[in-house]
Every structure is written in C-alpha cells, then in structure tokens.
Amino acid sequence: MADLTDLYQQIIIEHNRSPRNFKKLSAPNRRALGDNPLCGDKITLEVQLDGEVISDIGFQGSGCAISQASASLMTSAVQGKTKQEAEALFRRVHEMLTSATTVPVEPSSVGKLAALAGVRQFPMRVKCASLSWHTLHAALQAAATPITTE
Amino acid sequence: MAARRGVTSTHRAPAPAARASLDVARLRADFPILQTSVRGKPLTYLDNAATSQKPRAVIERLARYYAEENANIHRGVYYLSERATAAYEGVRAQARAFINARETREVVFVRGTTEGINLVASSWGRHNLQPGDEVLLSAMEHHSNIVPWQLICEERGATLRVIPMNRRGELLLDEYARLLGDRTKIVAVAHVSNSLGTINPIPDIVRLARARGIPVLVDGAQAAPHMTIDVQDLGCDFYTVSGHKMFGPTGIGLLYGRAERLDAMPPYQGGGDMIKSVTFARTTYADLPAKFEAGTPHIAGGIGLGAAIDYLTRLDRDLVAAHEQDLLEYATARLAEIPGVQLIGTAAHKASVVSFVVEGVHPHDVGTVLDQEGVAIRTGHHCTQPVMDFFGVPATARASFAFYNTRADVDALVSAVRKVRTVFA
C-alpha cells in the first residue's frame, strides 16, 4: 500500500517549506506560465538562457507541497545545464513519474529528483509533480501560451 | 476571527436526547458502499456535496428496469414500451409532488442542474435578453450558474451583475435591492452554496424581484438533499436539481419552470419526441414538457430518481434536518479547535457543508493525507473560483455531510486533520 512518507519525503517537505529559486529574474529571456486549473496550482517560470546554457532560473506561484517542491527541485537541477541536458532530464523525470510503480528508479539518472518517485503511487498527484517540468519544457520551446498538464 | 463566529461552548454538548431522533444506523444499512473499506480503513464519506451515495432501493430499481422493463418510451405500442413509459412518466408526477409544482407539465427532465441552467439561459435568454439588459447573479454561484449566463450575455450584448456577500458568506440584500433595476431581466441564485454552505433567503430574493416582474431561477442542487423544496412557497420561476446529489443516479435531474414561462420559451434542443409534426418546410413543437425533451432520455436514470424520491419522502425530513444541523455544529466546533484551521463560510443559516483551510498546508495535501485515513473530502475550488478569490484562498478542503453521516465520521475527519498538522509540522 502507498505510504504517506513515500509521497511526502523529508526532502519534499523541506523544499516546500523553503523553496529554492523562488524569485523573479531581472532580465529573463524565456517565460512560461503553468496552470493546473482543477487544482489551482499555478507557476510562472522565468529562464535566462545564455546561448544554450540556463544561466539563471526562477519560479513564482502557489500550489500544493508537491507542485512547489517539484518546482524547487527542478530549478535547482537544471541551473547551469544546457537546454539539451535539461530536456533530457525532463524526459527522464517524466518517465519516472509515469512508469509503473514496480519499475525501479535509478538514482544516478535523476539525482535528488528521485524524491519525486513516490508520487507514482498517487496517480491523482502526478500532475502536481509534472507541472513545473512541463512549464520548463514550454519555456525552453518558447511556447507563448499558458500550458496545462490536465 | 470572523470565521470562528457561531462557535460556542454549547456545541460541545452531546446531541440532545430528542424525543425522536433519526435512526442513522438503520439508514446506513441501506447504503452498501458505506459498509466498505478504503485503504484498509472504514470509508468515511464526506463528499456528499459533490455526489451522494445511493441506497440499495435505487441501485436495485436501476437493475430491475434494465432486467425486466427496458424499452424506449413514448413510441412503442407494445407491452414493454408501455410499461417503461408509465414508469418514467410516473416519476414526473412524483417529482411534481416532491417540489410541489402546480402541474406535472412544469417538470422537465434534464441531465442535471447544469443542463437545467443551460436550458433556461439559452432558451429564455435568447428570447428575452437585449443589448444593455442585465442578468443578476450572486457572488457565491457555482460555475454552472455563471458560465451559461456569460455565454448568453456575450451573444445578446447583455451584462452580468453580481450580488455581493459579506465575510461570513451571506448575501447583502440591501445591495441586491439596489442592483435590481429596469435593466435587470432575470435573477439566478443558488439556494444553498456548494462551497460555503450558506442557505440563501430565496423567498426574500424572489419577493423583491417579482415586485418588478423579474423572473428568478434557483439552483437547487445543494438544497434538495437537505431540505423540503416547495417551489410555490419559494415563488421562483425556475428551480433545478441534480438527481445524483439527492441519492439518485447521475445523468438525470429536474428543471421546474412556471408553465407560462416555459410555454413562452422556444425549444432548447431539436430532435425526436419534442415535435408535433415535421416537414422540411416547418416543424410544430410538442406541448410541455416534451418541447424541452428532445431525443431518448435517460430512462433508467429517471426511474432510479423516482426510487430516490420515494426513499427521501419516506424519511422524516425534520429529523434529517435536526441530525444534519447537529453534525454541522459538531464539525464546526471540533475543527475550530484545531490550531491553524480556519473555517471559510460561517453564515448564520447553513446546510451541513464545512469548508476550511489549514494554515501553511495546501488543501490538496490535506485531501491526500485524509484519503490515507479513509476520509473522502473534496479539495479545490469547488467550481466556485470567484468565492475562492473573495476569501483570498486558492482552494479549500470541504467536508459535506448527508443524513447517513455520524459524529464518528466527524471524529475521523478531525483526527485526520490533526494528522495533517503532524505530517507538515
């Protein structure tokens, strides 16, 4: 049976309480809005892209612990990465969030983001965890319209 | 804090030893799902405002219809069709009595409250709204009593106006009286707010509107499970309910309309069953209520709704009301004791709906923790985003009680909310 501590791991609780990169950038050149209308989770993601490198990234918004911690973990993970590296990480996290619970998570492939793996056992909450990642994807693709994971 | 108003120590007293009280244990036995467990815990179902559970009488009626009576209605000349037609139309007569409409033809079967409102907004609105006209709603409407009006207002060049409320979630009737004007063409309000629990003073609202000849539509989705509905007493022009919120099947509901209003309205949808005669040049429409019932309806749903109405009318509604009021007061008092819990919606007159937020914890996280304890509540904006904006919260957690809930259910809720505090400590 799914256990609450699988979902609300200490790292999630901690990132929700003190989110990293919760900030507005002074001169972002990519921005995307992410919105889960049914939940009310909302984030604004700003990226400063220097060439191919994410030289700074920040998010603002409100939502549940999972969405906020996921945005905090995501922004920490892609800081300083190239667009391609970030997109590759997006795909690995997406795979982790949507794979069967029996598929083991290889920590080396996603690092700290493995903390999000517990979300798989709570299908109603997967979209909370994936919101910031879809928003990042939209920002990097310079998608102009608000995106949603619902 | 305003949100705690109405909570006094008297609410801690045990339920009064009334001369007669609702036999909740016996009623619970009528609901198979209440005997089940979720996640290894007995189900504590507190999401009745979203949908209610179904008594065995309704479940078995649906099965019996499909097993023994299934046929299309209003058209066959054979035995089964006759029997299905009689059963379905019999429910219309039952429904008339249930809401105390004058005539059976004033009862239109719809999919639910949403369709009932859409029918009126679309048919009445297209026929009656002109550029510059106003549609008056309240600040606590469900999206289903906002969006259909927005759509028709946009089409007709009319404007939405909103009756404001106070911080307890009570409509400001003085403001309402001021908003009613020569341009107001219809008033549409909820009888009971789904997210706040407020019972609105419909007779007062109707009296002021009717003095100016303005029709009133009442969204009764949250009222029907809790109180006796008398549309003549309320005086409204339209009243609509959802079967699934009053212990019946999903996909079926009722729209009441005064005969003279419905008669003057064009059809909502075209199709079979709603016509007298059709040629390519011209179609004449059927009389009420068939004019508004195009196509094969949800026959089983209608018949199941009949079983739900039977079930409800056999209950002592006064005892139900007293029991639900006790649950409301008990839950309000117990939740207010928990540090960091703030109640949203503290009107003086409320149905058994308790919305709350837990400081520092998003309602969805509250919902997930409660779910692990077998407690099912709704979290989110409850399709009332303007209400959330008004109270400055993104969402709330909402426990909504039916007559089959008990103080033990409230205790399970309270202990699960306390657990939320420890998970996020």
Per-residue pLDDT tens over the stretch A4-33 = 888 999 999 999 999 999 999 998 999 999
B171 touches A: beta carbon within 8 Å: no
Is B365–A38 a contact, with Cβ atoms under 8 angstroms apart?
no
Which chain B positions have a beta carbon within 8 Å of A42's beta carbon? 394
Specify the pLDDT at position B5: 41
Buried b (16+ CB within 10 A) or exposed e, A14-41: ebbeebbbeeebeebebebbbbbeebbb
Which stretches of chain B score pLDDT less than 70?
A: 1-19
Which chain A positions have a beta carbon within 8 Å of B362's beta carbon? 62-65, 68
Residue A108: pLDDT band (50, 70, 90) is confident
Please classify residue B127 by burial: count the beta carbons closer than 10 Å to its beta carbon, then call 0-12 exposed, 13-18 middle and 19+ buried.
exposed
Specify the pLDDT at position A110: 83
Domain B2-46+316-423, architecture per CATH: Alpha-Beta Complex (3.90)
Is B365–A1 a contact, with Cβ atoms under 8 angstroms apart?
no
Is B395–A7 a contact, with Cβ atoms under 8 angstroms apart?
no
Residue A144: pLDDT band (50, 70, 90) is very low
Is B365–A39 a contact, with Cβ atoms under 8 angstroms apart?
no
Alpha carbon distance, N-terminus to C-terminus of chain A: 26
For chain B, the domains span: 2-46+316-423, 59-313
| Closest chain B residue by Cα to residue A14 | B424
Q: Of the candidates A8, A42, A125, which has its C-beta nearest B423's C-beta?
A: A8
* Residue recorded with tokens 């973990």: A73
Distance (Å, rounded) from C-alpha B140 to C-alpha B196? 8
Q: Kindly report the nearest CA distance between residue A49 and chain B, in angstroms.
A: 31
Specify the pLDDT at position B3: 41
CATH number of the domain enclosing A132: 3.90.1010.10
B358 touches A: beta carbon within 8 Å: no
Distance (Å, rounded) from C-alpha B54 to C-alpha A64? 32
Q: Which two tokens stand for residue B94?
A: 């039952």
Which chain B positions have a beta carbon within 8 Å of A13's beta carbon? 423-424
Report the predicted TM-score, pTM, of the whole model to 2 decimal places.
0.92
Tell me the fold of B59-313: Aspartate Aminotransferase; domain 2 (3.40.640)
Segments forming the whole domain that contains residue A62: 4-140
Specify the pLDDT at position B2: 41
Mean pLDDT of chain A, nearest integer? 89
List beta partners, residue B398. B355, B378
Contact A24, A4 (CB under 8 A): no
Query: Does A15 fall in a domain?
Result: yes
Specify the pLDDT at position B6: 39
Specify the pLDDT at position B314: 97
Q: Of the candidates A4, A39, A122, which has its C-beta nearest B423's C-beta?
A: A4
Count of structural domains, chain A: 1
